[in-house]
A and B are shown apart, each in its own frame.
Chain A
Amino acid sequence: MSDLLGYLLTGLGIGAGFALVGSGMVVIHRVTRVVNLAQGAFAVLAAMLTSALLATGLPHGLAEGAGVLVAAGAGVLTGIVAIGRPGTEPGAALIITLGLGVLAYAVEVTVWGDQPRSYAGLPGAVTLGGARIQAHYLLVIAVTLPVFAALMAFFRGTDPGKALTACAENPYAARVVGIDVRRMGLLAFGLGGALGGLAGVLLTPVQQVTFDSDVTLIVNGFAAAVLGGLTRPGVALAGGLLLGVAQTLIAGYGGGAHQLEIALLVMLAVMVAQAVRAGSVREVAR
């Protein structure tokens, strides 16, 4: 029983990271229709930079903040390259983001080398209901949940948030009322970059990061995002948490190295079930 609680909390911590990456993809996709395959690179970039800054003696908090800010900037830059040219098709922009993700490998290896990096997170362990878990997992959860609450408040309660939703709902009408749709797309890319960067700086103390860690993040983040139809950040949160918990449970009880594949199969099953319910499978078959 205490094992289960431990796995659950650890899984929620890992899943929160997936949820952040996934919601970043959702935020970008709903406004621009672009599936941003550079999303994992934002996390790696922020993690690497934070690790380097901490090594120079910058205190925790500041280093992580700088990592997230730079990731947000990288998001905006990615957006400028991917959708800056008017009339760029979302499919073409997707390939551009893939290319930028690979380019990020080169930059990261050149600047920080190809060895895994990590840094100390919140030290110590906590005993909860008989389960001992690293305190840092609780920190990840404690940061992620308010971030999602803030994200929701931003989309539902502020005019810029509503304008982003308006661009997602009806880009033509958005232009009619004078919303600069491309600028909103760049704002979404910046927001997505920050969310990805936050995932990176939060997860690195419990999962060391290498230049190609973005693959795991993007696969899981994308799975979480697709669960919400790539349009609902709240569902991406649920999907990410579910995925994290499923993987930890499978690793904990099965002890296997295949937790990623099995968890993705679970996710695939959920997606197929959703698609059947929504009738989209029949539409495609027609």
Chain B
Amino acid sequence: MSAVAETRGLVVRYAGATALDGVDLTVGEHELVALIGANGAGKTSLVRALSGLVRPDAGQVLVHGRLAQVPEGREMFAGLSVDDNLRLGGWRNGRAGRATGPVYELMPELTAVRHRAAGTLSGGQQQMVAIGRALMARPDVLVVDELSLGLAPKVVDMLVGHLRRLHAERGLAVLLIEQNARLALELCDRGYVLEAGRIVLHGDADRLARDPRVAAAYLGGHVAAEEPR
């Protein structure tokens, strides 16, 4: 299986602080990969490096094909309509590649709100717009930064359904960055665990889910950090 996106020895520093410290990560074609880690582990830095928004201080980012990002916090163009948000997702395609019809076919829930300002939508609707906007770039690999954060379980189920369909029907590769490790490891084939800027564990998702260290830190097992000090 060939890689659509990978990092080799990736180092990212901000003003002296090291956010990523030699990260090797691969997302293969048609693969669902989870990246789990606590707040401040460097997940978002990795997303930004993969998207080309920050330059690596060392190491390499290799993207073969197109990569699109669903940013943390959804980052709507709040005053623009849903349809305009989607259109701008296809900005790089040129005028001819900005038809939004396919996104509504995939997520019919958005059809009814297509002319509403994106800032007035619910969190779940905004997350769909964010996914749709990323799909407009016709990506080979989708990087989703926090799919479930702040959303009701029912809404998350629906979004997961959409991702599964995209993967099954279009062969889209996904790198899913999630605080909800259980969700991520259930959905994905493989996973990485990021701690303090380093990959500390990686492997098949079900093996990771059974790993006692993962269970303790991320799956609601015995969590040392939450003990009273």
Q: Mark B99-117, 1 if CB is under 8 A from A, else 0.
A: 0000000000000000000
| CB atoms of B88 and A162 under 8 A apart | yes
| CB atoms of B69 and A176 under 8 A apart | yes
Q: Kindly identify, within residues 141 to 197 of chain B, every residue whose CB is under 8 Å from any CB belonging to chain A.
A: none
Q: Is the interface of A mostly helix, strand, loop or mixed?
A: helix
- In this assembly, does A178 line the interface, its C-beta being within 8 Å of a C-beta of chain B? yes
Chain B residue with Cβ nearest A158: B95
Q: How far is the CA of A212 from the CA of B218 in the complex (A)?
A: 66
Chain B residue with Cβ nearest A231: B79
| CB atoms of A170 and B78 under 8 A apart | yes
| CB atoms of A176 and B53 under 8 A apart | yes
- In this assembly, does A271 line the interface, its C-beta being within 8 Å of a C-beta of chain B? no
Given contacts A169-B77, A170-B78, A178-B91, could you give 16 more A-B pairs where the C-beta distance is less than 8 Å? A159-B87, A159-B91, A159-B95, A163-B91, A165-B77, A165-B79, A165-B80, A173-B71, A176-B51, A176-B53, A176-B69, A176-B71, A177-B136, A177-B137, A178-B92, A179-B88
| CB atoms of A163 and B53 under 8 A apart | no
| CB atoms of A170 and B98 under 8 A apart | no
- In this assembly, does A175 line the interface, its C-beta being within 8 Å of a C-beta of chain B? yes
- In this assembly, does B24 line the interface, its C-beta being within 8 Å of a C-beta of chain A? no
Q: Kindly identify, within residues 64 to 84 of chain B, every residue whose CB is under 8 Å from any CB belonging to chain A.
A: 69, 71, 75-80, 84
Chain B residue with Cβ nearest A169: B77
- Interface range, B side: 20 to 34
Q: How far is the CA of A159 from the CA of B91 in the complex (A)?
A: 8
Q: Kindly identify, within residues 175 to 229 of chain B, every residue whose CB is under 8 Å from any CB belonging to chain A.
A: none
Which one, A165, A169, A172, A177, contacts B91 given CB within 8 A?
A177
| CB atoms of A163 and B88 under 8 A apart | yes
Q: How far is the CA of A172 from the CA of B71 in the complex (A)?
A: 9
Q: How far is the CA of A177 from the CA of B71 in the complex (A)?
A: 10
Chain A residues with CB below 8 A from B87, complex form: 159, 162
Chain A residue with Cβ nearest B79: A169
- In this assembly, does B42 line the interface, its C-beta being within 8 Å of a C-beta of chain A? no
| CB atoms of B76 and A173 under 8 A apart | yes
Of all A-B residue pairs in the complex, the 6 with the closest CB atoms, nearest first, are A173-B75, A178-B92, A169-B77, A166-B77, A162-B84, A178-B91
| CB atoms of A166 and B88 under 8 A apart | yes
Chain A residues with CB below 8 A from B43, complex form: none
Listed in ascending order, the chain B residues whose CB lies under 8 Å from chain A are 51, 53, 69, 71, 75-80, 84, 87-89, 91-92, 95, 98, 133, 136-137
Chain B residues with CB below 8 A from A166, complex form: 77, 80, 84, 88
Chain B residues with CB below 8 A from A175, complex form: 53
Chain B residues with CB below 8 A from A178, complex form: 91-92, 137
Chain B residues with CB below 8 A from A177, complex form: 88-89, 91-92, 133, 136-137
Chain B residues with CB below 8 A from A174, complex form: 77, 88
**A to B CB contacts below 8 Å, 21 in the list:** A159-B88, A159-B91, A159-B95, A162-B80, A162-B88, A165-B77, A166-B80, A166-B84, A166-B88, A169-B77, A169-B79, A170-B75, A172-B75, A173-B75, A176-B51, A176-B53, A176-B75, A177-B136, A178-B92, A179-B88, A179-B91
Q: How far is the CA of A177 from the CA of B136 in the complex (A)?
A: 9
Chain B residues with CB below 8 A from A169, complex form: 77-80
Q: How far is the CA of A178 from the CA of B98 in the complex (A)?
A: 13
Chain B residue with Cβ nearest A178: B92
Chain A residue with Cβ nearest B136: A177
Q: How far is the CA of A173 from the CA of B119 in the complex (A)?
A: 13
Min Cβ gap A230→B in Å is 15
Chain B residue with Cβ nearest A173: B75
Chain B residues with CB below 8 A from A170, complex form: 75-78
Q: How far is the CA of A159 from the CA of B83 in the complex (A)?
A: 11
Min Cβ gap B42→A in Å is 18
Q: Mark A142-169, 1 if CB is under 8 A from B, else 0.
A: 0000000000000000010011011001
Chain A residues with CB below 8 A from B95, complex form: 159
Min Cβ gap A157→B in Å is 10
Chain A residues with CB below 8 A from B133, complex form: 177
Chain B residues with CB below 8 A from A165, complex form: 77, 79-80
- The residue in B53, B78, B91, B133 that gathers the most chain A C-beta atoms within 10 A of its C-beta is B91
Min Cβ gap A158→B in Å is 10
Q: How far is the CA of A163 from the CA of B69 in the complex (A)?
A: 18
Q: How far is the CA of A113 from the CA of B91 in the complex (A)?
A: 47
Min Cβ gap B179→A in Å is 20
Which one, B71, B75, B98, B137, contacts A159 given CB within 8 A?
B98
Min Cβ gap B176→A in Å is 17
Chain A residues with CB below 8 A from B84, complex form: 162, 166
